[in-house]
Structure 1
């Protein structure tokens, strides 16, 4: 355990890394589409930029997922920070479709690299001190809460900065003239995010110690990618609980796609203008992240009250599904009462998903060994993204009204039903004979 920080220090560093990674992305939520529009991009081009992001993330999720299992957690996390730094710089300063599309693709690559190394480092560190039965849920909950807080803060800051800069026309004009039109008020949040990514890279390389790993050449790493992809895709075939976790990730992706695609239009319809609707959406997004953070904070307590992690996931997903169904039921109404119910439903979705995440990942980490941990997290992320993309396509062709909302609610309800029946001993059973056997990285490569 030489060089490993103690569990409390590891928890603080895990929280810090989550804040440093997600704060820059939160800063882009409010201004990004408006920045594309101000750069003269048509809606078709903007849709293409987001498609480049999604397709790059999905394509690289599994090939890069096992890299931190081979190369080390901090190196891969630093690489993700460097990709995000380059992406946000391009998006903040570029005005051509090619460079903007490249920026979105780089952002997708950074997202793929980031799905696992920080959490895997934290779990590795805690288990190095306390063994495979170490308490993980509390630390995972704090990390998830920190992510939500960073996104909420970034959303508010990213919406407020351009507005403040735009209050003085002389200031906005000076900014354009001083940078020959490269920097607009809407660019500032993205460039601030790029600066935070520099801090992330330095922090990841200096504050996340880990034991030395066997030396691997680039050729060996690339040669192992097909086996990693194949093993990752078949991960759930050997363990019923892991399979349920992956299916639940897909249901979560469907719910998130529905609420993220439909909320902006509903906000604009409520306010009567796209500009004011964007402000309302930023406020709603911030409130959603706050609710997710509260849910994550309550996750360990919910597990104790529910009698275990599996039951806590069931209750959490059921709560989120109820929120989406409430949004669907109020979609055709505009009265004050229906608006209050819709706002409550929106909060319930994020509260439920926030509470489900730490409990679900606690179960996953007890099924998968350290050598395959980041790969398993990447498979989970891939399941979420693929189902989210499919749901987005379906939502796009459905008529407006309750039906698109109910689609997401039905998917999340199906995910909750997966947890109605328990499958044998829980992963927290202290007896070694009852502990589920972890799936190792070598077994993933043999699949």
Structure 2
């Protein structure tokens, strides 16, 4: 049976809504990314306190990742996504207006809770909707690629706006001082992008409630939720242990987490060394981060083409992650070099890492969704996200302990290349184990 290019009207409508939700959710993250550390230090937090704030965020995500994925499978995608938006709006408001660690650190923890709630429900909603409209053999990769591109594009746009807004308000000049005086110091120029992110999350909540319709579910009771969520978590862990393809996806996701941890930890210092000062290095890093997310968005949009040229999704993951590993090798090879050619080559390697990771993501998601059903889809996505976060955290510690120079970059490249080579041998097409969740 031939399929229409781009799918039927129902598929296209679901794709548009998924793209919009993805953009609206990740735009605030980009808005807050550039000014966040500077805002916290301007509020008087020491570097140790800033690290504690980020640790509160990461630990909250790690602790809640699986329970919130199970919650989405039990009570529905829309409710959990709306809850994520509400928590994030409140968290960003606390961070933007807070003046002490006792306000800011709980705000970071709340943001972690919102991040955990958002991990999976939108994608699970999209896949469920397309399957209901067009059957289990419907094309998923195109919509997933568009959603991933929208997420990366939103972060890139947010980084540029979030980094430029304080400057436009006259950071350290009269307009900035006027803003401080008008708000009694509660709102700083650096606070404005974060508050704008909170407002976008309010829009996100209203859009989710209006646009993400889903079939009625049985009324959720506290007893049912308490019984269903642990069952969904256990089923997700069993699925990861019992299915060879999903094990591969999880290990590959962990390898990608290692690459991202290395980039986030090593690039700011390298940018500062290149420009000669931390301040100008921060501006360069913001530009690089935005360019990286643009490359990730481009890679996501190219994912269907890469899969067609490679022959299937598994080969596409191999090719895409191989390209990312090559980018890390370029970064490692140029770390001790100087001059414009070396800087240009390093920038190209940086973009190649994000391009390859963006291209691999939709194919991995397509493979994952063909192995799970709707009863455990969000939990499976949470298991995948948890694998990336935990591996990335461990990799960050390892990279931070290594001596400066090529070695940290080469370690990350080796891990990512090992993840790519997992796909050199085709996975058996045996049926996936039965979900058996809530």
- Distance across 1 between alignment mates of 2:226 and 2:269: 43
Taking the TM superposition and a 5 Å limit, the aligned residue runs for 1:19-418 are 19-166=23-170, 169-418=173-422
The Cα RMSD (Å) is 1.4
Whether the 8 Å contact between 2:32 and 2:194 is mirrored in structure 1 is yes
- After TM superposition, give the deviation of residue 5 of structure 1 in Å: 7.8
Question: What is the deviation of 1:437?
Answer: 4.1
Structure 1 position 230, deviation (Å): 2.7
Moved over 6 A (4+): none
Contact in 2 for aligned 1:235/1:444 (Cα 8 Å): no
Q: Deviations over 1:174-227 (max 9, x none)?
A: 211111111000000000000000000001011000001112212321233333
CA distance in 2, matches of 1:201, 1:19: 13
Distance 1:68 1:26 in 2: 25
Q: Structure 2 regions of 5+ residues with no counterpart?
A: 1-7
The CA deviation string for residues 69-121 of structure 1, in whole angstroms up to 9 with x for no partner, is: 11111100000001100110001000101111111101111110101010011
Deviation larger for 225-234 or 181-190? 225-234
Give the secondary structure class of the aligned counterpart of 1:172: helix
Taking the aligned partners of 2:189 and 2:172, their CA distance within structure 1 comes to 11
**Change in 2 beyond 3 A, CA 1:168/1:45:** closer
Residues 119 and 378 in structure 2, CA contact (< 8 A), matched pair in contact too: yes
Counterpart-to-counterpart distance in 1, 2:391 and 2:201: 29
| Shift of residue 237, structure 1, vs aligned partner | 1.9
Cα distance in 2 for residues equivalent to 1:163 and 1:391:
34
TM-score if structure 2 supplies the norm length? 0.96
Q: What is the aligned partner in structure 2 of residue 6 from structure 1? A: 10
2-structure distance, mates of 1:168, 1:100: 23
Once residues 281 and 226 of structure 2 are traced to their aligned partners in structure 1, the CA distance between those partners, rounded to angstroms, is 46
Is contact 2:148-2:358 (8 Å) kept?
Answer: yes
Distance 1:376 1:357 in 2: 15
**Residues 371 and 5 (structure 1 numbering): CA distance in 2 closer, same or farther, change over 3 Å?**
farther
Tell which deviates more after alignment, 401-410 or 273-282. 401-410
Q: Secondary structure at the match of 1:227?
A: helix
Query: Displacement of 1:291 after TM fit?
Result: 0.3
**Aligned partners of 2:165, 2:183: CA distance in 1, in Å?**
18
In structure 1, distance between residues paired with 2:230 and 2:200: 34
Q: Which residue of 2 aligns with 1:429?
A: none
**C-alpha distance in 2, partners of 1:439/1:145?**
32
Q: Which runs of 5+ in 1 are unaligned?
A: 426-433
Deviation, 1:410, is 1.1
Contact 1:152–1:289 (Cα < 8 Å) also in 2: yes
Equivalent residue of 1:389, what SS?
helix
